[in-house]
Structure formats: structure tokens, C-alpha cells
Amino acid sequence: MNLTPLLKSLSIPTTHLEGNDIPVFSPIDGEQLGIVSSDNKEETNKKIDQSEKAFFQWRTVPAPKRGELIRLFGEELRHSKEALGQLVSIEMGKSLQEGRGEVQEMIDICEFAVGLSRQLYGLTIASERPEHRMLETWHPLGPVGVISAFNFPVAVFSWNFALAVVCGNSVIWKPSEKTPITAIAVVALFHRALEKLPEAPKGLLQLVIGDRSAGEQLVKDQRIPLVSATGSTDMGRKVAPVVAERFGRCILELGGNNGMIVSPKADLQLAIRATVFSAVGTAGQRCTSLRRVFVHNDIYNTFITALKSAYEKIAVGNPLDENNLLGPLIDKDAYITMQKALTEAENNGARVTGGSRILTETYRNAYYVTPALVEIQNQEIIVKQETFAPILYIMKYQDLDAAIAQHNDVSQGLSSCIFTNDLREAERFLSAAGSDCGIANVNIGPSGAEIGGAFGGEKETGGGRESGSDAWKSYMRRATNTINYSTELPLAQGIKFEL
């Protein structure tokens, strides 16, 4: 696939694709897009050093001026939305609509961050001592390491980047080695914005390309006080102890095994539509993809019949064709993992519909599959594991509290939803006795979160929060200040200490 016209429209030289050690393939047809060069240990160390120097300059720039830089970056993204969206689709394999949506998500978080740059509020706190004032202030933290995954090659980075920069930090970004070209494009767009703001240091965003060892170097470096890492739970288990050992901070956004409860009081047409997008979008390769559905006995047959009918209408093929809703899996390993999961489910008595590879001469090196529906009686071990593929496990329930308990009986806790028109059922699901996930929805699927809310989950999902709400506080350090404007020196708690 020739990327030259696309890169030219983004003003990115094709020499970036003439590296020497990391070949990049498009999941659309399995063809090589180019070869990029990785950063060795010395080069990575130099970039961390440049990031630290940029931070020392940037932290004293007023926050609204920092917001202006992100506003300029958002404008560059607007101008390049179509081209960058296409590049996302080509390199990752998601549909063109989803590629454009990912860039729009970047634009949206830039807008959020611009407003945030004038709202980095602290508190004034009542002091127990007379003529004293106590307050809380927030300060930039330092260089922030961002490790992103292949499935959202640019959007999740931007959640971290936009907030970190307006909070006064520099950023070092290590993208997935499966999707480095979109990262190169984003950095080029940001450099255009940098040129328009002389106060901004040139080293504010550093791009480190490499394999797992590059990520390990960022995780271990004392100069990086915060590491935000998106990926598998296994990756999180390796990252968290290393960062904790040096008393750094982590924002972990890890695995999801997201569930839906479909009540007999649900709008079934709405539930079917939400199920299809949430389970099939991005070929099931979202951390918020729907993987488990619990359907009430009374409506199970009606639901499963309607869902199978909807699945038969899903167009699978080249994601650049807007008539296709389902593109390819990222690579052969993803396909093999999917087939192993389906085999294990069948061995546990499940009925599997779909899940086979669509093999044509045009796409002989790509991995297109029909989405799989798995009707299974119990929540077996394979159901409790996250498989990054369009597999949907469907189970029956009779009692809502039992369904909620079963829904929560997995190690992940990212996103969840219930479909019901019963207020009591909805509120029960959202209560402390309901879903144990970081995201809990009513009459909307678990996938497709907006940037205004904090994104992240509990348990083995890692506990981190990114994007909206007050997630910005993770990128700053908090200071409690007390000011004495009296001529006395009273002590707190009534302590007397007189010389």
C-alpha cells in the first residue's frame, strides 16, 4: 500500500519509512508499509534528558499560555483530520469511520484541555489558628512517560498528552511498535503548532520508537515521575512494581472483560444495536469491547434470534470501504488466540456461531473473520479471560442480583451496562451493590466513552483514570500551604511550646 500521497498531504517526508529495523505492516492486506528505525538505549536516554530540560522551561509558563499551545495543536488536527484518520485505519485496521472518530477524539480532548488550562483550581481551607490562611496549590510534576497500545494508536496518547502539557509537563511517548507511523505523523503535526508559540521549548514532546525494552527504560528512569501505560494486564503487572520501587506514579489502563445485562424490561431493538457495535467495532479490539451478555430467560430466544439476524448483515472487509463495518484483526497472533478461545468454549459445551476466517486471494496475508456468537451455559474460565477479538459470550439469567454477581465475577473492571426501562433495576446496577466497574451505563453499550468523563477501571484494569473530570490531578503535584499573617505563632491542636 503506497502511503506517499497520504504522508505528503500531512507534510511528512517518506524518509521516515526508510528505517532499518522495525517493519510495519497494514492489517488490511498484510503488506509492508515501510520500515522505521528504533531508538537505542543511548538515544532514548538523550530524549529523556531533553524532555527534562524542556520541563524546567515549560513549568514556569502560565497555564493559559500552555493551553494556547494545545489549542494550536487542535487546529492542526482539524486541518488534517481526514488524512490522519485514513492513516489510523490503514495502520491499525479499524474502519474509516472509527479512524476519523479517533482523530475527532484528539480534537475534543484538546478543547477540553484548553478550558482546563484556566481551571487548575486549588482550595482555600479553614484554618483552626487565628489570622492564618490554609490553601491547596497544584504544580507541574515533571516529564510524563506515555506508553500506548496499537488499538488506539493516537487517541489514548492525546488523552494523556493534552492534559499533561497544560498541567506544565513535558511528555515522552512510546507508541506500539505495530503502529509507529501514525505516531510520527502526530508528532509532526504537533511540531507545526510548536513553531507558532515561541515560548514553548522544542523538546516538549519526545517520541521513542522501539520494542518492549524501550518501554522498560522509560519505566525504570528516575527522571520520569509518572508513567501512563495502556495495554494488557500482564504488562501492568510488570510496569507497576518497577515504578513503585522508585516511588514513581502509574496511570494504568489495562484489560477489560466488559458485560451487559439485558432485562425483560429492556428496549430490545436498542439493546441489539448497542450489542452489535460494542462487540464488533474495531474487530473486538477495544479495551471497552463488549465480551459478555447476560440475557433474562424470558427474552433469551427472542434476543438471540434477533442478534444472529443482525450479525448476518455485518459487512466484513477492507475498512477503507465505508460499506464495511468490520475490518481485520491486527495480525496472525490475534487470529490464533481467537481460534484457541473458540475451541476451548466448544470443549466446554458452548454453541459457536461464526468466528471463521474469510480468506481471499486479495487478503491472503490478512486476518478477516466473521464475528463469533458463543452461547454458553456457565461463565467458564475462558469467558473470564479477555480475548482481543470479536467474540461475544451469551448467557441466561433469572434473578437480577445473581446476574450482577456473575457480571462482577471476573478479574477485570473496566466498563459495563444494563438495558432496562425499569428505574429500580437501573439504579440497582449503578449503586454500590451493582456494577464494580469504573464505567457503568444504562441503555448504552460499554464502548465509545466521551472525553468529558474520567476513563478507567478497577481491579486488574489497573485503577488509573485518564481524560476528563478531574483526571488532570494525576499529572500534577499537590502542595498544602499555610500563611500566617498575625504577629503570633499559635500551634495547631492547641499545643503550647513557649521559650
Q: Rounded to an integer, what distance in angstroms lies between the CA atom of residue 92 and that of residue 99? A: 9
Q: Rounded to an integer, what distance in angstroms lies between the CA atom of residue 165 and that of residue 126? A: 31
Q: Which residues contact 197 (CB under 8 A, 6 or more apart)?
A: 65, 68, 69, 72
What dihedral angle (degrees, nearest 10) is formed by the CA atoms of 147, 50, 33, 367?
Answer: -10
Q: Per the residue annotation, which of 68, 98, 102, 253 is the catalytic one? A: 253
- C-alpha cell, 406: 456473575
Cα 445–Cα 448–Cα 450 angle in degrees, nearest 5: 120
387-419 b/e (C-beta count within 10 Å ≥ 16 → b): bbbbbbbbbbbeebeebbebbbebebbbbbbbb
Q: Annotated catalytic, 417?
A: no
Label the pairing between strands 458-459 and 466-467: unpaired
For residue 143, the one-letter residue type is P
- C-alpha cell, 442: 444504562
Residue whose grid cell is 478507567:
456
Closest CA relative to residue 449, chosen from 37, 83, 102 = 102
Q: Which residues contact 348 (CB under 8 A, 6 or more apart)?
A: 376, 378, 380, 382
Closest CA relative to residue 375, chosen from 446, 299, 295 = 295
- C-alpha cell, 187: 508528532
Q: Annotated catalytic, 287?
A: yes
Give yes or no for a contact between 173 and 198, defined as CB atoms under 8 angstroms apart. Answer: no
- C-alpha cell, 350: 458452548
Q: What is the DSSP string of 38-86?
A: PP-HHHHHHHHHHHHHHHHHHTTS-HHHHHHHHHHHHHHHHHTHHHHHH
Q: Per the residue annotation, which of 287, 375, 425, 437 is the catalytic one? A: 287
Label the pairing between strands 290-296 and 391-397: parallel
Cα 58–Cα 76–Cα 92 angle in degrees, nearest 5: 100
Q: Where are the beta strands (DSSP E) in 276-371?
A: 290-296, 351-353, 357-358, 368-369
Active site residues: 253, 287
